[in-house]
Structure formats: structure tokens, C-alpha cells
Structure 1
Amino acid sequence: MNLTLVGMPASGKSTVGVLLAKRLGYQFIDSDLLIQEQEGRLLKEIIAQEGLEAFMKIENQVNCGIDTDKAVIAPGGSVVYYEEAMNHFREIGHVVYLKLSFEEFEARIGNPTDRGVVLKPGMTLRDLYEERVPYYEKYADIVIDETGKTPGDVVDELREMAEQGKI
């Protein structure tokens, strides 16, 4: 059984993922790192050199290829655009949505381009947030509202759910 953490960029998928994997004795997989390893380039370089559509094909292919058990998986925030990848994650475990308010997302994000965030031309951070949230909610088996919580609080909440057999 795996736990796949989804949510907006800067929602803490990697931070929470590493801590949770340690607490559960699971492996941690960051699919953005898998993409960079496969392509030999940073996410922002792939997007700049190949374009958004090509990047998205690579991202879907890498996420669909993750075949593991007892792992915490942290895919990029745009994974929810791929029904194939999201169905794959639901088949191999549970999908956990780390929910942030728009204000918290905006405060945490920093430079979206540097983070390799998939922003279509002319799209604002608000547009991105409003476009993605319904997808996160659609695919989530579990929603964790991060308002007022530290990464440690989120990890404790998820670990407790795992220990109680809820996930």
C-alpha cells in the first residue's frame, strides 16, 4: 500500500512525504526528481526547451511507471491533469490531498518558474489554484487541511490514520 500526496506546489508534498516515509518505514519517491533523472535536465529546462505539452507527456509517463509498494509518493502538482496517472496512483494505494488556502499557497510559492510550475501563458496563480483544486478534490481519498498546521502536525495526523487502518 502506498500513499500519494497531491496538492498545490509548495503544499509540502516533499517535506511531509520524507517525514511520513521515515515514520512509517516506507520508501520516499519524488516524481519530479525521477523526471529530472530520466531527462538529465531540470524541470524548468525541459519546459523551456521542449514546451509544456512535451513536458506533460513525460510527466504522465513517469508517474504511470511508478511501480512500488510501501512508499510515500510526491508527484508534481500538475499530476492531477492526467487521469491515467491519477487512476494508477489510486490503484496502488491512497491519494492524500494536502489542502492549502489560496493565500497560504501564494505566500509559500516564491518564484513559480524556478519551481518548474506548469503555468499556461497568461495564467495567474489564482487561475492555477482555481483550476487545480477541483481535480485534487476529485481524486483525493483523504483531504488534510493544512491551515495552521506545521509539516510535523500533518505527518502526525497521517501516521495516526495509518496506524488506525484508515489508510
Structure 2
Amino acid sequence: MKGGRSNVVLIGMPGAGKSTVGVLLAKQLGKGFVDTDVVIQSVEGRTLQDIVDGEGHLALRAIEERALCELDVHDHVIATGGSAAYSDAAMAALRRNGVIVYLDVPWSEIEARVTNLGSRGIARAEGQTLRDVYDERTPLYEHHADIIVDCTGLTQAQAVERVAAALEQPAASGK
């Protein structure tokens, strides 16, 4: 990676594999790993779903934005929550020291992977389906990404290899 940005920031839908791929990628690249959903839960002392249930999806987004803007790590792979891309401020903060990588997984695979919609802590409006969320967020992920990695049909190990290869490309220095 070029430009002095030492972090790799994974964005994408719930079920895209950000946390799982992130751990494996960090191990392969010799970097630390942080899952921002876990950071939020630790700081807040409650689950993401508890935040959504108690205060609503916009409260979770605000908490997430604050956590991402305050995150200060170097040489890490960062797995963000699926709603991180709603915040331009958070994405700008992450980009200052990181390359933003969108794990692009098609709807059919997201639908098959995310079976716990009511308990997963997804920041979505009341009545909003997972498909609605997918359609709303996809352009945001594409907009914020320095690198888009097509993960269609890939195993976790294959996704790690594809991300690592993409990071080696000269264009990986990002926006």
C-alpha cells in the first residue's frame, strides 16, 4: 500500500464477511485486527441490537460515526459495521490512514448468509427489508471504496487472497 496509509478498512453489507475475512487478512498481512462492532459494544456496554431496539437505527449510526471518527490505530485491518458508509465524516476519518476495500457480495449470497435479521443489530428503519438495505447501501459502498473486490462465490480464504492481491496493485494507493 502506498501513500503512508497503513490500515486496510473493510466495508460492505452484513454477511459480506468483513469480520471473518478481516481476521484472516490481518494474519496474512502481519497486521492487527479491530472489529468496530465489537468496539461499539464494548464502549456502550450493550449489543448493537439492544441499541437499535432501545434508541433506534439512527442512534446506532450516530454511535458508530463517533466510534469510527475516534478510532486511532495503525497497521490494522479494520472490519466496519455495515452502516459505516452512511457517514461521510467516518469514512473520511478512516481514509486518512487506511485504504477502503469494499467486499462486494451479490444479493443472493447476502440473502443466504444473513438469517438473523431481527437479532443481528443491523441499522435499518422500521419495516425496511434486508433487500431494501442492500439496495440503499450498495451505491454508498461503491462511492467510498478505494478498491472494490468482487467476492461472488468465493470462500473466505479466496476472498482474503483476492483482497491481498488487490492491495498489491499500484492503484491501491486509493483516492
Shorter-chain TM band = over 0.9
Paired letter, 1:120? A
- In 2, the alpha carbon distance for the partners of 1:125 and 1:54 equals 19
Q: Which residue of 90, 95, 99 corresponds with 1:90?
A: 95
| Deviation readout 1:15-43 (Å, 9 max, x if unpaired) | 00000000111010000000000011011
State how far apart, in whole Å, the 1-side matches of 2:52 and 2:126 are.
12
Q: Residue 152 of structure 1 aligns to a residue in which SS?
A: helix
Q: TM-score, normalised by structure 1?
A: 0.95
Report 1:22-101 matches (<5 A): 22-101=27-106
TM-score normalised by length of structure 2: 0.91
Q: 1:114-153 CA deviation, whole Å, 9 max, x = no partner?
A: 1111121121122111100000000000011111211101
Distance in 1, Cα, partners of 2:170 & 2:160: 15
Is residue 14 from structure 1 mapped to residue 19 from structure 2 by the alignment?
A: yes
Indicate the SS of the match to 1:69: coil
1:125 maps onto 2:133 in alignment: no
User: Equivalent residues in 2 for 1:101-112 (5 A)?
Assistant: 101-112=106-117
**Which blocks of at least 5 consecutive residues in structure 2 are unaligned?**
1-5
Does the Cα contact within 8 Å between 2:12 and 2:104 map onto a contact in 1? yes
- By how many angstroms is 1:93 displaced? 1.2
SS at match of 1:118: coil
State the alpha-carbon separation in 1 of the partners of residues 87 and 113 from structure 2: 25
| CA deviation after TM superposition for structure 1 residue 165, in Å | 5.7
CA distance in 1, matches of 2:162, 2:57: 35
Contact persistence 2:49–2:120 (CA under 8 A): yes
In the alignment, is the contact (CA less than 8 A) between 2:147 and 2:166 conserved in 1?
no
User: How far apart, CA to CA, are the structure 1 residues paired with 2:140 and 2:165?
Assistant: 26
Tell me what 1:148 maps to.
Answer: 153
Quote the sequence identity (%).
46
